[in-house]
Structure formats: structure tokens, C-alpha cells
Amino acid sequence: MVSGCICLMTLTAGATSPTYLIAIGNNAGAANEVELLYAERDARQVTRVFQELGEVSGKTTMLLAGEDASTVRSALLDLNARIRAGGETNPKLIVFYSGHADSKALHLGNTRLDLTELRAIVKGSSASVRLLVIDACRSGAVTRVKGVKATPLFKLTYDTGQSAQGFAILTSSSAGENSQESDRLRASFFSHHLVSGLRGAADKNMDGKVTIDEAYQYTYAQTLKSSGRSLELQHPTFEYGLKGKGGVILTRPSNSKGRTGRLRIETPGLYLISEGSESGPIAMEVAVKKGGTVVALPHRKYFVQRRGLNSYREYEVTISSRRTTRLDTHPYRVIDYDRLVRKGGSQRGAVHGLTLMGGFRGQRIEGMGTTPMALAGYAVDFSTLSLGLRLGLSQFETPTHNEVQTLTERDWSLGIMVQRFIDFDLVSISLGILVEGLVFEQQFQTRGEAPARRAFGFSYGALLGIETTLWTGLALRLEGGPTSSVFEQAVVDGGEAVGQELRTPLTWSANAGVVIRL
């Protein structure tokens, strides 16, 4: 069985007991393993969230980045000795690891630390609550694959003490699965969601505290969801044995301290919180299930993006130290998916849309004048171009010859459009070309003989458009431009058709309507 990431935890209930943290990160693995990018960063982020929101101080924290097995081993043993000597009531021990591993050992550069040894060291600690998190990885390409070799699942054992004590194992992936890290998140999926959960996203009952159960449930769901968009699914596992009453509190986002503030989110949805600006590092990807969720973040300015079904809502907020900022009171702008696709900011490769428009077209045949037209279209917006099909109908009736005869003309068109959109704050401008096939039908109401006529042709032209969003998924579009049509026209002499000639009149069209993006 495979144990991709393994967590050992010993738990003890207790609100004010000290917590000791060892965070180990190592980007380097064995000689045949590709160096990771974010393993050491994961360890720093975990350290940071526990220091800001947990009962961990600088004195009870140890960050081991890029260290070998002997250093880690020594650090763990020293800490065990320190806890044992300290005589504190119900201390907690949390050990976090991010890096390469296989089914038997962590790979700390070229050195190995056996899992059985690690497990024995943690389990042997005198701390009441013992927690080991291993996010083992091996690198992939764009989204690097963190993995371990196939092996029987790490076997769990549980302590059965009378007090709130326990021993648990949390794995970032199940047997046979790999764990992944993301360039977009600049972290491994698992570590990122664990940190987000600890910052408050996992606070399911919204009591301002994140327990081990809440952290696991949140991390499991979000890791599975994120990995679903990547190479393969990743199922974190979490098993623990706990004796005693009450949940084990890992962090308290509502009681942020130091330079940490809080962001209160009222509207459920998926939020992407980036530092500084849209292009800044992603601080948190948080799925808010209920209104009133509070997440704790370091004091600074953030770009918050709420990803809805058909649009993004973007905020810019500043989190102040020890203060709660309500996101919903901030102004925002709605960005439809078509814009996101065009600027490459969406995971959707294309946005489909329907267009309904009406307008006018200049005369193609002398004397016919400006005629009304209706258009129905379908378009696909890609990042660089928009491709569309459109069906048009123009129908008009005109009396001729002192109103003794009536001509009814119906023009059908089926065209292909290629457009390039340029997005501004309030409007989008489009430039494009259009090629259409045309079918003309002329019918005459007369007491004489004038059989119906049907002719074929085509037209080509330029399209200039301007579009503004009315509502999510609904936009108003004005569009038009010059077009040239090519068709055969009869030469009429004395009222009678006596010949034909090829006509290529230059005319125009102008339309207005709505675009419904699907």
C-alpha cells in the first residue's frame, strides 16, 4: 500500500496547554528525484499560521528547511527531551513534513529518515497531543507531482489513554495516489488547503476556532477538488484515536494576534485571495460554504476574487492588524467569463454565447432604401479570437409603379465571423471580419405576371462592435460596419428584365441587441 503523506498525531484536549511545532521542508530528494519548488515554503507557511493563530510561540517553534536526516532526528529527540523535562500540563507536539518520500522513509536530500523511526520518535514523545504531518512529494512538470512509491498503506495504531489523548495519521494522498504541488498556488495542494483551513476557511461551525476535525474535512474536500483539475485525484486520509471530551483546537482565527487581521465573508462561494494585486502570490483559496466565515490573514492589501458560475467578482481590500474587515461592504466589479477567457484568467478555455440583434442595412439595390434586419448568432470566445456563426433575415415590402405593384423581398444570410475583442473597464471593443452566403427571394403582388425570383450571392465586410455588460452573462452589443455584396442583378428595360449583370455594391449595416453568455 502506498502512504503518500503520513501524519502522526497524538491529541490531548486542553485549551491553554503549550504547543511545540517542528516544521520540516526539503525541496531536495534522492538523486533520481526532481527538486521540488515549494516544499520548504510549505513548511514556512505552516509555521507562520500556527504562530499567528495557534498556541505556538517563537520559542516553541523549529523550522528545519533543507536539513538532512540526522539534523531532523536530533531536533526531534531534543524536543522530546525538552518536553519531558518541562513538566508542562498537556503539551502538544505537531510535526509537519513536506518533501520527497517513499513507502519506507522520508528523503531529506540524499539522506533517509525511516518512517518507523519517525513514528516511534513522535509516538514516544511525552506530549499529550502528538501530531505528525508528512506531505511527501516528487516533482512533475507544470504541476509537480509529489509522490511515493507503491507500498502497503502505513499501518496506524492508536493510543487508548483515559484523558484526551490520541494518536492519528493524516495522509495527503491515498494508496497508489500521488500528491501534487501547484505553480499557481505556489504550494502543494494539500499544504495550501491545510493552511487556508487553519486560517479560518475550515471553521465549519463558525465558532472562531478550527479543530482538527474541521481542518481535515476542509483540507480533504479542497485537495480533492484542486487535484481534480490536475493530473490525477488526490484523496487525503485522516485517522486518529482520541480519548476525552471536546475537539482539539489547532488555531483560533477569531483571536488573531500580532499583525494578523480578519476578513469576514458573507456570500458563499469560492474565493481566491492574492497578496497585493491580481498577479500577486495566492494567499488563500477558500471555499466558503456559509455566510459569516472569518479567515485570518496577515496585515496587508489583498486582491479577492469570488468565482461565480458565470462571472468573477473582484474586490480590493486591506486587512488591518487585529481588526475584522467585512468583504461585502467593499466595492467590487463583475468580470464576465468571456473577459476572463480573453485575458487568459479563466480555467475555461472558451465561453459560448448566443446573440439576438436587430437593426438596419443600407440598400443593396438602388431604390430599395434602408431595410430592417434581424440576426441570431452563436459565438465562442477564445483567449485570442472570437468565432461566430450568424443567421440573418431582412424582409421589406415596397410599392412600385404608382402603387399598382408591391415587391416583397426576403434576404437570408448565413455568415461566419472572426472577431478580436479589446476589453476596457466599462466596455469591450471588437474588430472583425464577416463572410456571408446570401439567398434573396423576391415576390410580387400584381395583377400581371411577375413570377417569384430567387437569387444567390455572398457578402464580406468588416465588423466594428462595442459591448457592455448589463448583468452577469447578459451584455448589450452595438455592431456594424461596411459590407460589400456580390450577386447577379437583372438589367431592366421598360419594366422588363432583358439581361443580367454582376453587382458588387458597397453598403453598411448597423445592429443592436443582446449577448447571452452560457
Binding site for other proteins (CB under 8 A): 365-368, 398, 400-402, 404-405, 407, 440, 442, 444, 446-451, 453-458, 486-490, 492, 494-497, 500-502
Least distance from other proteins to the Cβ atom of residue 490, Å:
4
Least distance from other proteins to the Cβ atom of residue 236, Å:
55
* Minimum CB distance to other proteins smaller for 372 or for 495: 495
Q: Which cell goes with 401?
A: 409603379
Contact status, residue 165 vs residue 129, Cβ threshold 8 Å: yes
Least distance from other proteins to the Cβ atom of residue 466, Å:
32
Q: What is the DSSP letter of 156?
A: P
Q: From CA 270, how far away is CA 274, in angstroms rounded?
A: 13
Least distance from other proteins to the Cβ atom of residue 382, Å:
25
Least distance from other proteins to the Cβ atom of residue 501, Å:
8
Least distance from other proteins to the Cβ atom of residue 457, Å:
6
Q: What is the DSSP letter of 131?
A: E
What's the angle, vertex CA 342, arms to CA 357 and CA 182, rounded to 5?
145
Least distance from other proteins to the Cβ atom of residue 505, Å:
11
CA 313 to chain centre: 12
SS3 (DSSP) at 5: coil
Question: 448-468 in b/e burial notation, b at 16+ Cβ within 10 A?
Answer: eeeeeeeeebebebebebebe
* Minimum CB distance to other proteins smaller for 60 or for 489: 489
Least distance from other proteins to the Cβ atom of residue 452, Å:
9
Cα separations in angstroms, 423 against 205, 304, 344: 42, 20, 12
Query: By CB neighbour count within 10 A (0-12 exposed, 13-18 middle, 19+ buried), where does 71 fall?
Result: middle
* Minimum CB distance to other proteins smaller for 110 or for 446: 446
What's the angle, vertex CA 328, arms to CA 324 and CA 330, rounded to 5?
85
* Minimum CB distance to other proteins smaller for 266 or for 488: 488
Q: From CA 135, how far away is CA 179, in angstroms rounded?
A: 8
Q: From CA 128, how far away is CA 11, in angstroms rounded?
A: 6
**Sequence-distant (≥ 6) Cβ neighbours of residue 220 within 8 angstroms:** 235, 236, 238
Least distance from other proteins to the Cβ atom of residue 350, Å:
27
Cα Rg for the chain, rounded, in angstroms? 33
Least distance from other proteins to the Cβ atom of residue 100, Å:
55
* Minimum CB distance to other proteins smaller for 71 or for 398: 398
Nearest to 404 by CA among 442, 443, 446, 369: 446
**Pairing relationship of beta strands 105-108 and 111-114 according to DSSP bridges:** antiparallel
* Minimum CB distance to other proteins smaller for 360 or for 444: 444
* Minimum CB distance to other proteins smaller for 443 or for 472: 443
* Minimum CB distance to other proteins smaller for 143 or for 489: 489
* Minimum CB distance to other proteins smaller for 416 or for 492: 492
Q: What sign has the CA pseudo-torsion 50, 55, 57, 63?
A: negative
**Sequence-distant (≥ 6) Cβ neighbours of residue 285 within 8 angstroms:** 185, 192, 193, 196, 222, 226, 270, 271, 272, 273
* Minimum CB distance to other proteins smaller for 224 or for 486: 486
